[in-house]
Amino acid sequence: MNINTICLILLVIAAYLNIYLSFNKNKQNKKTKLPISSKEWREKVEDENFKSWVSNREKLKEKRKVDFSN
């Protein structure tokens, strides 16, 4: 084997190693991505709390009506 063949083999190994490391870096970035942003999560929680508050308020109004009628 002459020196050109050895350099070519090392160059090919370096190229494959670079592709492999780039692929793993992209794969790790995708794993850490959250399925929902914090802003969307906060809006969802606030919406659930508001719906719960409204339903409880309606129940209390109905209960007051029943108490006053008796």
SS3 37: coil
pTM exceeding the 0.75 threshold for the entire prediction = no
* Per-residue pLDDT tens digits for 8-67: 999 999 999 999 988 877 666 565 567 778 888 899 999 999 999 999 999 888 888 877
Q: Which helix (H) or strand (E) holds 64?
A: helix 38-69
Give the residue from 12, 61, 29, 19 showing the smallest Cα distance to 69: 61
What is the reported pLDDT for 38? Answer: 83
- Angle (nearest 5°) at CA 26 between 33 and 30: 20
Identify the band that residue 4 occupies on the pLDDT scale cut at 50, 70 and 90.
Answer: very high
pLDDT of residue 63: 84
Domain ranges of the chain: 1-33, 34-70
| Alpha-carbon distances, residue 49 vs 23, 33, 41, 44, 62 (angstroms) | 42, 26, 12, 9, 20
Q: Which two tokens stand for residue 51?
A: 């719906």
pLDDT for position 41? 86
